[in-house]
């Protein structure tokens, strides 16, 4: 009988420990700010990302804010900022517009890396290429294999969605890089200090 009570006690303690661990994990992953904040993460340690269920919004930036716009097939990609963060990261953000007649989900933009396979239609396959330094920088990911980038929900014909992706920063003296994703043509961008 004592053995049975000991097992019950251990099960109860295990359940309490697991529940506490889950609560701490959820609290640690919280955004810590209003959901209405900027689309770009405020710090490099941020793993906040757009919700998978979030519907695309119309763009709030004007064409004058664009660093570069590139077109590939039915998609138009506009890059509005590329900022070097103090933590050694570069955050690139912009918007994508579906000019085609069918929906788009970003499937051809995902990474072929097995670690990032669970990111679905996202910018996990994006990269920054430093031609001067002969280096390619891949999208950052958290310890769970989620990219620090936007994961797209369905983008219907004519819709526009904002996006962001974080990369390791090239050396300080590198200010120009090429942004590449999917079959889109490379876009040459200038990195500004954040």
CATH 3.30.465.10 fits 63-193, yes or no: no
Q: Which helix (H) or strand (E) covers residue 104, if one does?
A: none
Q: Predicted confidence band at 10 (pLDDT cuts at 50, 70, 90)?
A: low
Interval 113-139: pLDDT, tens? 767 666 777 888 889 999 988 999 999
Q: Predicted confidence band at 140 (pLDDT cuts at 50, 70, 90)?
A: very high
Q: Predicted confidence band at 35 (pLDDT cuts at 50, 70, 90)?
A: very low
Measured CA to CA, the distance from residue 174 to residue 154 in angstroms comes to 35
- In this structure, the number of other CB atoms found within 10 A of the CB of residue 127 comes to 18
Residue 148 CB burial class (10 angstroms; 0-12, 13-18, ≥19): buried
Q: What is the pTM of this model?
A: 0.64
Measured CA to CA, the distance from residue 55 to residue 58 in angstroms comes to 10
pLDDT at 170: 93
95 within 8 A of 152, measured Cβ to Cβ: no
């Amino acid at each position: 009988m004592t053995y049975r009570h000991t097992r019950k006690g251990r099960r109860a303690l295990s359940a309490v420990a697991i529940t506490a661990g889950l609560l701490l994990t959820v609290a640690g992953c919280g955004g810590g700010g209003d959901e209405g904040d900027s689309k770009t993460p405020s710090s490099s340690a941020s793993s906040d990302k757009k919700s998978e269920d979030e519907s695309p919004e119309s763009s709030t930036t004007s064409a004058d804010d664009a660093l570069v716009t590139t077109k590939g097939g039915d998609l138009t990609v506009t890059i509005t900022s590329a900022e070097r963060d103090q933590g050694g990261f570069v955050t690139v953000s912009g918007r994508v517009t579906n000019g085609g007649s069918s929906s788009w989900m970003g499937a051809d933009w995902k990474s072929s890396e097995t670690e990032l396979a669970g990111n679905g239609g996202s910018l996990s396959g994006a990269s920054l290429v430093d031609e001067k330094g002969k280096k390619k920088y891949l999208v950052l990911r958290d310890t769970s294999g989620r990219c620090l980038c936007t994961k797209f929900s369905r983008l219907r014909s004519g819709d526009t969605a904002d996006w962001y992706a974080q990369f390791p920063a090239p050396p300080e003296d590198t200010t120009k890089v090429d942004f590449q994703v999917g079959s889109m043509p490379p876009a040459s961008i200038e990195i500004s200090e954040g």
